Amino acid sequence: MTINQDRCESVVCKGRGLGLAPSAFAVGVFFLVAAGSTAGGETLSLSNPPQQSQSHGGPVMDYVSLIDNLRTAGVSVEPEGEVEQPFFSIEGRMIKVSGEDVQVFQYIDAAAADAEAALVSPDGSAVGTSKIHWIGPPHFYKKGKLLVLYVGDNAELLKALEAALGRPFCCLLLP
């Protein structure tokens, strides 16, 4: 079965990311499967998350275009599966960028991403009512409906992420 890419983001995200009750979420899935692809954009298989993306060109707007953008810049990117953070409301996707873990959280829209970004403390040591002991300095980026987290200090990777996503909105103080 194929699902329109934009709707696929909603489907593969946790139901709670949409604020949907489980039964409403299940109904939504059935409707989308029955309707098929109705809008433009790349279609994706529900059971096969994107491993290779078709080039879109242009700025980063979503998970696929982020990977595309990084690869176009000559950076190696390998999808690694899902990642969970207790302080974010949705599951994310882990990508290996130049051999390092980068976490990508794609929300239903920019407003939802903004709301969660607002929970991150200026030094990154807290997100909402969670305190975090990081293994290295955290760097949070926001671009449209994406929140991206890299924990580490690889200068080349930081440069590549900034080129794709803009300056990180956090964090300044943690070592």
Contact footprint for other proteins (CB under 8 A): 83-87, 94, 101, 103, 123, 125-126, 129-136, 138, 149, 151, 173-175
Minimum distance from residue 78 beta carbon to other proteins (Å): 13
Whole-number Å distance between alpha carbons of 3 and 11: 9
Which residue shows structure tokens 């699902």? 3
Please give the order of strands across the beta sheet that includes 92-97: 77-83, 92-97, 100-106, 146-151, 138-143
Closest by CA position to 103, among listed 64, 146, 160? 146
Whole-number Å distance between alpha carbons of 83 and 76: 19
